[in-house]
């Protein structure tokens, strides 16, 4: 991207920021970082109010803006010890890695499915977080961010946050411990006692998962269960926590159920970057622009809106001034087909000239796949 292109794009970003919804609780206690050529060029910035922050964004207009998950007494102080930590939101970063520059976009639905499970099963179901304390936003590129702003979680430290991540990712989960042998007084025959579907946490999810799999693909557990009679008999037992209503040996049955246990955790939580457990981490400010895509880290309007949210359609910059504008671009490399802005785009060949709506052209330019044709 040359300087002229950069200036043009900066102008569009600035227009967006003049009207953007920037609701940042505790803004005066957060540290900010900004970047132009990489995600963070400078950090330890602080803003006293949303209007100060907006003024900064419209006049300086960085390509990336992030804020701390932590709250401090002196967010602008350095080194970090002098900031005086007050607590931190619990934040989860879900993303997906794939081959090529555009590979991840085709897999965003998979991340969304993980997001739904993270929110419903883990955050609301197991952790007991109220929906109103959750901010869910698109990351602006390859995934989603979830911010828990529940006061009770603010003081917990880095190691405890790691516990939450391990729990969600199922690290150390030993589902065979869900089961125990039980002998009744009048019978010498052992019974395999296990979780019931209505139980909470991993146990209930496991029991429900087994029943679901038996109903949809029984053979994946055992050919025995393709017989409807045997299958229903076994399911009727599971519903009461009695896992013995089958001729399979206990050990054999339990090891066959690994296929269900393996699918219970949320795998796309990004722990490499340590987003959740690193208290000094900066994360993209919700509703600001990702400078590598021009897509907004758009806040999703509550849990109920996740399914309908299409990041490559709903996170495009749409302001009044640019609504009807188009931009001519010249592709500088081959680009695969993609659904963008609700339309099927591409594939495009190197040296192809195309005119699109402004946010779409900008996406390809920022991805480094095209240059702007100045007329």
Partner 1 sequence: MAEQGSLDFAVRYPFSPSAKDAITDIAVNERIIILARNRIMKSLMNDSSGRMLIHEADKKEDIASFAVARMILGILRNNYLTNTFAVNESKMMHHFLNREDEATALEVSTIFGIVPKPKAGAKPVEDILELDLPSYLRCCPRSPAYRLINRRLVHGMVEIKSDEWKRLVEEAARKHIERIPIVKDPPEELKEAGKKILETLPKTDNSKLEAIKVEDHPPCVAKLLDNLAKHENLPHQARWFLAAYFLSLNTSEADIVKIFSGAPDYSEKVTSYQVAHIKKKGYSVPSCATVLGYGLCVADCRIGSPLAWHRLGRQRKEEIRK
Q: Which is nearer to partner 1, 71 or 331 (CB)?
A: 71
Q: Tokens 């109010």 map to which residue?
A: 49
- Using rule CB under 8 A, residue 174 touches partner 1: yes
Position among 48, 172, 229, 304 found at the interface with partner 1 (CB under 8 A)? 172
Peptide bond into 35 cis (omega under 30): no
Six-digit token string for 281? 């981490």
Q: Which is nearer to partner 1, 112 or 205 (CB)?
A: 205
Backbone angles phi, psi at 371, to 5 degrees: -125, 155
- Using the contact rule CB under 8 A, the part of the chain among 15-23, 46-54, 93-101, 161-169 near partner 1 is 161-169
Q: Which is nearer to partner 1, 174 or 186 (CB)?
A: 174
Instruction: Check if the beta carbon of residue 243 is closer than 8 Å to that of residue 193.
Output: yes
Peptide bond into 79 cis (omega under 30): yes
- Using the contact rule CB under 8 A, the part of the chain among 17-25, 76-84, 121-129, 309-317 near partner 1 is 121-129
Q: How many chain residues bind partner 1 (CB under 8 A)?
A: 30
Q: Which is nearer to partner 1, 204 or 336 (CB)?
A: 204
Minimum CB–partner distance for residue 143 and partner 1 (Å): 17
Q: Which of 44, 94, 52 is nearest to 68 (CA)?
A: 44
Which residues in 241-279 are b (16+ Cβ under 10 Å) and which e? bbbbbbebebeebbebbeebbeebbbebbbbeebbbbbb
Position among 120, 166, 292, 310 found at the interface with partner 1 (CB under 8 A)? 166
Q: Which of 375, 332, 324, 322 is nearest to 353 (CA)?
A: 332
Six-digit token string for 268? 């796309």
Residue 20 gets which letter from DSSP?
-
Looking at residues 127 to 156 of the shown chain, list those that interact with partner 1 (rule: CB under 8 A): 127-129, 152-153, 155-156
Q: Which is nearer to partner 1, 167 or 348 (CB)?
A: 167
Looking at residues 308 to 367 of the shown chain, list those that interact with partner 1 (rule: CB under 8 A): none
- Using rule CB under 8 A, residue 280 touches partner 1: no
Q: Which residues would be at the binding site for partner 1 (CB under 8 A)? A: 125-129, 152-153, 155-157, 159-160, 162-164, 166-167, 170-174, 177, 199-203, 271-272
């Amino acid at each position: 991207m040359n300087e002229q292109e950069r200036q043009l794009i900066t102008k569009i970003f600035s227009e967006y920021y003049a009207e953007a919804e920037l609701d940042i609780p505790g803004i005066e206690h957060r540290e900010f970082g900004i970047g132009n050529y990489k995600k963070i060029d400078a950090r330890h910035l602080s803003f006293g109010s949303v209007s100060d922050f907006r003024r900064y964004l419209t006049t300086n207009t960085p390509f990336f803006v992030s804020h701390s998950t932590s709250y401090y007494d002196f967010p602008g102080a350095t080194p970090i010890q002098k900031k005086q930590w007050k607590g931190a939101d619990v934040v989860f970063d879900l993303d997906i890695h794939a081959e090529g520059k555009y590979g991840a976009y085709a897999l965003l639905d998979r991340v969304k499915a993980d997001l739904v499970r993270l929110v419903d099963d883990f955050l609301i179901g197991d952790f007991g977080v109220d929906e109103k304390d959750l901010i869910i936003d698109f990351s602006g590129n390859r995934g989603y961010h979830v911010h828990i702003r529940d006061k009770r979680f603010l003081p917990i430290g880095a190691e405890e946050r790691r516990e939450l991540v391990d729990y969600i990712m199922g690290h150390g989960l030993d589902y065979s411990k869900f089961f125990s042998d039980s002998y009744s007084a009048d019978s010498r025959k052992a019974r395999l006692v296990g979780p019931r579907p209505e139980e909470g946490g991993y146990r209930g999810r496991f029991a429900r998962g087994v029943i679901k799999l038996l109903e949809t693909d029984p053979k994946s557990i055992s050919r025995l269960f393709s017989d409807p009679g045997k299958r229903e008999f076994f399911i009727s037992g599971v519903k009461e926590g009695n896992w013995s209503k089958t001729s399979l040996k206990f050990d054999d049955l339990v090891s066959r159920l690994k296929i269900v246990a393996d699918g219970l955790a949320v795998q796309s939580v990004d722990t490499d970057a340590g987003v959740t457990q690193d208290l000094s981490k900066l994360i993209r400010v919700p509703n600001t622009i990702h400078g590598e895509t021009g897509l907004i880290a758009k806040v999703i309007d509550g849990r109920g809106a996740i399914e309908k949210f299409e990041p490559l359609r709903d996170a495009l910059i749409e302001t009044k001034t640019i609504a009807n504008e188009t931009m001519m671009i010249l592709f500088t490399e081959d680009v695969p087909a993609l659904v963008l802005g609700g339309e099927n785009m591409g594939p495009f060949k190197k040296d192809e000239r195309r005119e699109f709506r402004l946010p779409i052209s900008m996406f390809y330019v920022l991805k480094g796949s095209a240059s702007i044709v100045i007329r």
